[in-house]
Amino acid sequence: LERTFSILKPDATERNLTGAINDVIEKAGLRIVAQKRVRMTREQAETFYGVHRERPFFAELVAFMTAAPVVVQVLEGEGAIARYREVMGATNPANAAEGTIRKLFARSVQENSVHGSDAPETAQVEIAQFFAGNEIV
């Protein structure tokens, strides 16, 4: 079974939506095999979104991701990476399909409630940034 890395972002934790989002995740056939609530440091957020360092929204994105706690997760299932991207919906909630997490809950392209890895290599790196092997069960 494949694993992917997920974040329930500050806009979701602030509105008490972690249970509602986990319900969508589980009903989609993905299993939450690791989960913890953390306050990301500036350094963690900058490393995590390093690929976007040169983008105009980078500073704002780091400020948003560190402004309140997040829930970091490892999700497991068949084709978990693609499956979760499908369940999340488009980055901009205005373009997200009905029933997706971002259509249901996101506030804007930045405050879009969830993150999910985009490829096996990034999933592996992102999981290792937040979880030790023995925390994933």
85 has binding-site annotation: yes
Binding status of residue 67 toward ligand ATP by CB under 6 A = no
Q: Residue 118, SS3?
A: coil
Residue 116 touching ligand ATP (CB under 6 A): yes
Find the length of the chain. 137
User: Does 52 qualify as catalytic in the annotation?
Assistant: no
The phi-psi region of residue 74 (left if phi > 0; otherwise alpha if psi is between -120 and 50; otherwise beta) is beta
Distances (CA, A) of 104 to 6, 62, 99: 17, 24, 6
Q: Which of 20, 61, 67, 82 forms a contact with ligand ATP (CB under 6 A)? A: 61
22 labelled ligand-binding: no
Contacting positions for ligand ATP (CB under 6 A): 52, 57, 61, 91, 109-110, 112, 115-116, 118
Would you please indicate which residues are annotated as catalytic (active-site) residues? Answer: 115
Return binding residues for ATP.
Answer: 9, 57, 85, 91, 102, 112
